[in-house]
Amino acid sequence: MNRGMLYAVGAYVAWGFLPIYWKALHSLPALEILAHRVAWGALVAIVLVTYRLRWDWLGAVLGNRRTLLTFVASALLLSFNWFVYIWAVNAGYVIETSLGYFINPLINVLLGVLFLRERLRGGQALAIAIAAGGVLYLTFQYGALPWIALALASSFGLYGLLRKTASIGSLEGFTLETLLLFVPAVGYLIFREAQGGAAFGHAGAGIELLLVGAGVMTAIPLLLFGAGARRLTLTSLGILQYIAPTLQFLLGVLVYGESLTPQRLIGFVLIWLALAVYTAEGIWTSGGTARVRAAAAKS
């Protein structure tokens, strides 16, 4: 296994086991956990950027109103995604959070067609149709949309769409996003302290260490992913991305004992079938492109 593969697998495994971390903080409100994640994540990002001596990008971003507004929007989407995920995990919906990240690649394709005018290939269209059938089936069985999964998939898909149009690196982007959220996050924590409900400084060393560590647990997988993405093909990343939701699904079923009825399993099977079609189509298309380039090089 090459270094890029190790980095990417490490990132997805860390994301896959993240529910265990948030479960350890289940006694705290999701918004307070989110505020700590943002605040400590910003401090970790500042240390990393300073260590790399790479602050020259900030002036250009702050001087470009469109870029700055793009990152304000991406920061809001990211914080919303984090909040829903933390709340859902601690409310006993780990399985449904995994569904959101299974659906996410297909949402990305759909957003590319709608906003970037990308052409929808036949296999992609079939995958999206099967996934839509799975969502409709789950909706019919439970009498309500799987809104947690859809909220996670759509918010992270839109976040990825915005970041796709940005011109700065992953670490710099993460730093800017957490800096934009830093003041509201710290303000909320101060408010909690003034109201006498804050956990930090009152809940014991174990909880406090976990809250501080939330920043590290946020930054490290992101850096691993960035390092892996630079060394791997998009096809390889596309296959590896299913590691995280698969681990989340297994945690929900095997560790936390969440309900997985036969009806619910059918809905998941439809989503997995859609992903199998999507992945196979992607591998076939990339292989065909490679063959055409090789033939062109020989001629």
DSSP per-residue letters across the chain: --HHHHHHHHHHHHHHTHHHHHHTTTTS-HHHHHHHHHHHHHHHHHHHHHHTT--HHHHHHHT-HHHHHHHHHHHHHHHHHHHHHHHHHHTT-HHHHHHHHHHHHHHHHHHHHHHS-----HHHHHHHHHHHHHHHHHHHHHTS--HHHHHHHHHHHHHHHHHHT--S-HHHHHHHHHHHHHHHHHHHHHHHHHTT---TTTS-HHHHHHHHHHHHHHHHHHHHHHHHHTTS-HHHHHHHTTHHHHHHHHIIIIIS-----HHHHHHHHHHHHHHHHHHHHHHHHHHHHHHHHHHHHH-
pLDDT band at 1 (very low <50, low <70, confident <90, very high): low
pLDDT above 90 for 28: yes
pLDDT in tens, 160-172: 888 877 778 888 8
The per-residue pLDDT for 110 is: 87
pLDDT above 70 for 298: no
Mean pLDDT for all residues in the chain: 87
pLDDT in tens, 81-129: 999 999 999 999 999 999 999 998 888 888 888 888 888 888 888 988 9
The per-residue pLDDT for 96 is: 93
pLDDT in tens, 189-234: 999 998 887 787 777 888 999 999 999 998 888 888 878 877 877 6
Separation of alpha carbons 76 and 177, rounded Å: 8
The per-residue pLDDT for 45 is: 93
pLDDT band at 290 (very low <50, low <70, confident <90, very high): low
Separation of alpha carbons 111 and 217, rounded Å: 29
Mean pLDDT of 232-249: 82
pLDDT band at 16 (very low <50, low <70, confident <90, very high): very high
pLDDT above 90 for 241: no
- By the 8 A CB rule, do 98 and 90 touch? no
The per-residue pLDDT for 296 is: 46
Phi-psi region of 120 (alpha: psi -120 to 50; beta: other; left: phi over 0): beta
What is the share, in percent, of the chain residues with pLDDT greater than 90? 45
Query: Which of 179-183, 196-200, 270-274 is the most confident on average?
Result: 179-183
- By the 8 A CB rule, do 57 and 222 touch? no
pLDDT above 80 for 23: yes
Q: How far from each other are the two terminal CA atoms of the chain, in whole angstroms?
A: 34
The per-residue pLDDT for 98 is: 93
Q: State pTM to two decimals.
A: 0.88
- Give the closest residue to 144 by CA, choosing from 267, 258, 274: 267
pLDDT band at 141 (very low <50, low <70, confident <90, very high): confident
| Sign, Cα dihedral of 259, 29, 22, 50 | positive
pLDDT band at 297 (very low <50, low <70, confident <90, very high): very low
pLDDT band at 291 (very low <50, low <70, confident <90, very high): low
pLDDT band at 288 (very low <50, low <70, confident <90, very high): low
